[in-house]
Homo-oligomer: A and B are copies of this chain.
Amino acid sequence: MAYRKTDKVTARLADTRRSILDAARDLVAEGGFAAVQMTEVAKKAGVATGTLYRYFSSKEALCRQVFREVSAREMGMLAEIASGDEAAGERLVQVLRTFAGRAVRGRRLAYALLAEPLDVNLAEERAFFRRTHADIFARILEDGIDNGELPLIDVRIAAACIAGAIPTALIGPLAPESHELDSNPDRTVEEIVNFCLAGVGVARAGSKTKNMERRTTA
């Protein structure tokens, strides 16, 4: 017997691992997963490319880990709100606002998590992420239906609609221009949230029509 890892070494190893993950995360935040190249990660983390492979078996493994860490944070916030004890409608509003609000503000990262073209391996990770979102929405909707706050709808489908509408309207080609968003993110968020709330049948204030009397549809 001639070698046994000492605590100091273990700590250093953990540090290096961390710095690799951080480097990768930074690259994602800057340019999406497409910008993650092993040589770049290594450079940024201050290690050699070969070293990366002492900590992660492949690029895929590294990216998966990054995706998990980043998305776990987001899901955690939503889950916490969802498990609160306010009325379903209220929790719904809060969850939607949080989701949309964080997405507008961390747009590049949100893009990477939700909309960026990824290859299949990471797409799996994203699928899990989005399913979790949908589950959170669905859970709240169920509560609302159970106690009569919301009309009877298919919660899975409604949840999927919400999970699709929000990112689409906020990031990617259908989103308002960045400068528009930056100038007044909250108004956009509010409009989207309203759409989703109306979609699931939450009655809300302020449905003015252009002409004061409403014509009937044919």
Question: Taking beta carbons and an 8 Å cutoff, which residues of A are in contact with B?
Answer: 86-87, 89-90, 117-120, 123, 126-127, 130-131, 134, 145-154, 156-169, 172-176, 188, 191-192, 194-196, 198-203, 207-211, 213-215, 217-218
Chain B residues near A202: list those with CB within 8 A.
Answer: 217
On whether the beta carbons of B156 and A192 are closer than 8 Å, the reply is no
- Min CB–CB distance A210 → chain B (angstroms): 6
Set B118, B130, B145, B199: member contacting A199, Cβ < 8 A: B199
Q: Is the CB of B164 within 8 A of A168?
A: yes
Task: Return the contact of A160 from the options B127, B169, B215 (Cβ within 8 A).
Answer: B169
Residues in chain B near residue A90, CB distance under 8 A: 217-218
Q: Are B152 and A210 in contact (CB-based, < 8 A)?
A: yes
Most buried by B among A120, A131, A195: A195
Residues A146 and B195 in contact, CB atoms below 8 Å apart:
no
Chain B residue with Cβ nearest A118 = B117
- Chain B residues closer than 8 Å to A151, beta-carbon distance: 207-209
Chain B's closest residue to A88 (CB) is: B217
Q: Note all chain B residues with C-beta closer than 8 A to A200.
A: 195, 198
